[in-house]
Each structure stands twice: as C-alpha cells, then as structure tokens.
C-alpha cells in the first residue's frame, strides 16, 4: 500500500469530482467557501456512520433514512459549514430535503441519490435562498469537472485551522484501487466522533453491506478513539462512497485484496482522526494514552478515556507538568478494579511508576518528554490482557477564551 498524507483526497480515486463555493451562510460576507458537492457520474454504494447523540441534526436523520435501504445507490453529497441545521424542527427536515432536491435538479438526478451534511451553529435555520444559489454554482462546477478538491476541503471547515486530507493506493494483479478522504473537526470530538464530517471515496466496486462493515470497523479503530474536549455533537457523519470506476470488484478479488482494501480504509480513517486531534481548538500537544493489562478491552477503554478527558490531566499537559498523580487518580475513578501496587506507568519509554512506586530519579526526563509537542503515556494495570489506545491533547487558556461565547 502506498500512502499519501495530504493532497486532493476525494478526487484521487477515479470518477469523483468536487466543488466548493461561497454562499455566505453565516452572513459575514467574508468570501470563505462554505458549501460544496462531491459527485460521481457512476452510481455509488455508500456506507455511513453517524453520531450516537440522542439529539441528531436534520441532515443526519435524512442520511440515516436513505442508507437504511441496503440496495440504495447514490451520486453525490452536498455539505455546508456555518450552520448545523440542528434543533430546527420540521423546517430543518424540509431544508435538508430541499438541499438534496436542488442538487439533483441541477445534475439531472433523483433527490434520493444525494446525501446531505451540515456543520456549524446549532438552533439556527439555514438561509435557504443563499444555500440554493450556492448549490447552483457548486453543481455547475462539478458538471464541468473543474478541479475543486481543495475548494471542497475549505468549504467544510469551521473552527479548523487547516484542511485535512490523505489517500491510499493498493496494487492488485488486475490494477490499482485508490481510497481518498477528507475531514473537518477541531472540537467536540468524543466519545463517538463529534462535530466532525469525514468523507471517503474509492474507485473500487463494493456492495453496500461489505462497505458498511469495512467502514464501521475502521471508524471504531480511529474516529471513535479520539477525544479533544469530551463533548459530542449533533452532526457527526462519516460517509464512504464507492463508484467502481477502477473496474475492480473487491468481493470478487482474492482475500488478500479484501484485506488490503480494509487496511487502506483503516489507514485513511486513522490519518484523518489524528489530524483532527492535532488541529484541536487551540491545542499545543498531541498525546497518545495507551492502557494495557486491563481485565478486558472495555475496562482498558474506560481507563484510557478517563485519563484522556480529565481536565486536570489535560491542563497539566498544557503546563508541561508530568503530574503522574493526576493520571493515576483519573485511572482510578474509571473503577475497573485498578490495584495501585500492580500499576506500571511510563512517559514514552521512561518509567514513572513501577508497581505503584514513583521512579523519582527519572523526574527530569518526564519533564523533558511532557514538554514536547507529542508524547505517549503508557499505563499497564497488570490485571489481564485488555488494551486500548486513545488519542487526545492538552487544554489551554486559549481554548477557554475561544469557546466562552459563540
């Protein structure tokens, strides 16, 4: 597998086109792209994973309803930033339908062949006159097959500081298959995705059920293993489109190719998830929290999340303070039966605790490690074989200032 950290993302696989336009969703008249379309002339199988929040935005419900048909085929996605179309009542549902129907009208498709995603402010109705004008322009660009990959990436951003994309290519005896992806997200990224929209495309031919299973497993190992601030959004969506433009059918290929395809989807999701954490709102550090030796994997996840979401722990990371006491305290209130006399803890490869006793002579090394932009905390509970890794970051004064009002 060949992997590419950046680039065009969604248009790397054959047969996909993107566009991004400014339609002034937030009324700031700042010229920022805030609406885009992903389009394939060939019909696509699509898989989707969405927020588990009880409060789901209108476009999330719209997509879930369409994807409930395992035989459904799609040609595109329309997405806007600046307005989540969440908690907007019946009008919000009507506006999601209108967005799909407008794209379909301009591209000569059926409205049920278009998926809809939104991100931004909650509780504010979409400015539909602006949205429909933007859809007209964005649809014209994809019809003309303009190079709008970067414009689309820009159109989905909110508090992000940069665009995020990657792609993976796998070689088979019959040819090449590509998986591309983009994501937006910098806050509210836990516990199951968050104010995050991720889009993936592939030129392989894949059935809806196989694609859904592949995506669900990849999301569970990536987007569902990150946390920025412990909050969950109303609009989380990950969508994977497969148009078959490569001429290769994954399920007809040898098992080795199916495995490689799953690895490519995993790699794209993992890369995008990491980019989200690294671009967290006003963060300065990327931290990997690894838990081993737990009674089972679920217990390991509870401990890892407790540590990764602790405001005291995250604040100490920001201050470059190797405060292992806060880490141990957070691990303890996960209540998985932790025995301090069995606990080993490391900062990177440097021991901090061995069987619950601090290795004080390493204090200077701990400080050096935690002062870096990236480090690993390893907790070995020595209670079993359960393991989990969560990706997180620090909590800065700037984060509070940034989020104190909207």
The token pair at 9 is 């993302």
* pLDDT tops 70 at residue 229: no
Q: Which of 192, 169, 171, 196 is nearest to 182 (CA)?
A: 196
* pLDDT tops 80 at residue 188: no
Mean pLDDT taken over the chain: 91
**What pLDDT score does 401 carry?**
58
* pLDDT tops 80 at residue 277: no
Mean pLDDT of 309-329: 93
**What pLDDT score does 187 carry?**
46
Which of the four pLDDT bands, split at 50, 70 and 90, describes residue 218?
very high
- Alpha helices per DSSP H over 52-156: 58-67, 89-107, 128-143, 149-155
Lowest mean pLDDT among 87-101, 105-119, 337-351, 389-403: 389-403
**What pLDDT score does 77 carry?**
98
Contact between residue 6 and residue 272 where contact means Cβ atoms under 8 Å apart: no
* pLDDT tops 70 at residue 404: no
Contact between residue 308 and residue 331 where contact means Cβ atoms under 8 Å apart: no
**What pLDDT score does 52 carry?**
83
CA distances to 8, 179, 199 from 13, in Å: 10, 6, 13
Mean pLDDT of 170-186: 91
Backbone angles phi, psi at 389, to 5 degrees: -130, 130
Which of the four pLDDT bands, split at 50, 70 and 90, describes residue 174?
confident
Contact between residue 187 and residue 280 where contact means Cβ atoms under 8 Å apart: yes
* pLDDT tops 70 at residue 197: yes
* pLDDT tops 60 at residue 179: yes
Backbone angles phi, psi at 380, to 5 degrees: -110, 110
**What pLDDT score does 4 carry?**
95
**What pLDDT score does 146 carry?**
86
* pLDDT tops 60 at residue 66: yes
More confident: 54 or 403: 54
**What pLDDT score does 194 carry?**
37
Q: What is the pTM of this model?
A: 0.85
Which of the four pLDDT bands, split at 50, 70 and 90, describes residue 234?
confident
Mean pLDDT of 204-221: 96
More confident: 106 or 397: 106
Percent of the chain at pLDDT exceeding 70: 92
* pLDDT tops 70 at residue 173: yes
Per-residue model confidence as pLDDT tens digits over 68-83: 999 999 999 999 999 9
**What pLDDT score does 193 carry?**
36
Per-residue model confidence as pLDDT tens digits over 322-372: 999 999 999 999 999 999 999 999 999 999 999 999 999 999 999 999 999
* pLDDT tops 50 at residue 272: yes
**What pLDDT score does 295 carry?**
98
**What pLDDT score does 337 carry?**
97
* pLDDT tops 70 at residue 28: yes
Return all residues near 259 (Cβ < 8 A) that are at least 6 apart. Answer: none
Mean pLDDT of 186-207: 72
Residues with a known catalytic role: 195
Indicate the burial class of 179 (C-beta count within 10 angstroms; 0-12, 13-18, 19 or more).
buried
């Amino acid at each position: 597998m060949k992997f590419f950290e950046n680039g065009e993302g969604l248009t790397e696989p054959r047969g996909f086109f993107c566009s991004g336009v400014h339609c002034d969703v937030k009324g700031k008249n700042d010229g920022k792209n805030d609406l885009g379309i992903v389009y394939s002339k060939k019909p696509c199988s699509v898989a989707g994973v969405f927020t588990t929040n009880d409060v789901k935005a209108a476009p999330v419900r719209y997509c879930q309803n369409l994807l409930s048909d395992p035989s459904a085929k799609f040609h595109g996605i329309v997405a806007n930033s600046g307005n989540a179309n969440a908690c907007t009542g019946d009008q919000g549902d009507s506006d999601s339908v209108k967005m799909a129907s407008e794209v379909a009208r301009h591209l000569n498709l059926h409205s049920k062949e278009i998926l809809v995603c939104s991100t931004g402010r909650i509780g504010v109705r979409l400015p539909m006159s602006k949205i429909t004008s933007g859809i007209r322009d964005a649809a014209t660009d994809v019809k003309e097959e303009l190079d709008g990959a970067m414009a689309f990436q820009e159109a989905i951003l909110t508090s992000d500081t940069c665009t995020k994309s990657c792609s993976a290519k796998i070689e088979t005896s019959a040819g090449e298959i590509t998986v591309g992806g983009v994501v937006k997200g910098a806050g509210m990224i836990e516990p199951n995705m968050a104010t995050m929209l991720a889009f993936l495309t592939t030129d392989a031919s894949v059935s809806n059920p196989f694609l859904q299973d592949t995506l669900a497993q990849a999301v569970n190992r990536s987007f569902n293993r990150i946390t920025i601030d412990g909050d969950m959004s109303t609009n989380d969506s990950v969508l994977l489109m497969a148009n078959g433009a490569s001429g290769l059918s994954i399920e007809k290929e040898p098992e080795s190719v199916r495995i490689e395809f799953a690895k490519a989807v995993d790699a794209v999701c993992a890369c995008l998830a990491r980019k989200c954490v690294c671009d967290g709102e006003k963060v300065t550090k990327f931290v990997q929290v690894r838990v081993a030796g737990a009674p089972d994997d679920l217990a390991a996840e509870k401990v890892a999340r407790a540590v990764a979401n602790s405001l005291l722990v995250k604040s100490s990371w920001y201050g470059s303070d190797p405060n292992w006491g806060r880490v141990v305290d957070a691990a303890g209130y996960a209540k998985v039966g932790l025995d301090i006399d069995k606990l080993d803890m490391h900062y990177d490869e440097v021991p901090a605790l061995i069987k619950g006793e601090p290795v004080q002579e390493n204090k200077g090394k701990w400080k050096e490690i935690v002062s870096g932009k990236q480090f690993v905390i390893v907790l070995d509970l020595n209670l079993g074989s359960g393991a989990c890794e969560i990706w997180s970051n620090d909590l800065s004064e700037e984060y509070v200032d940034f989020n104190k009002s909207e």
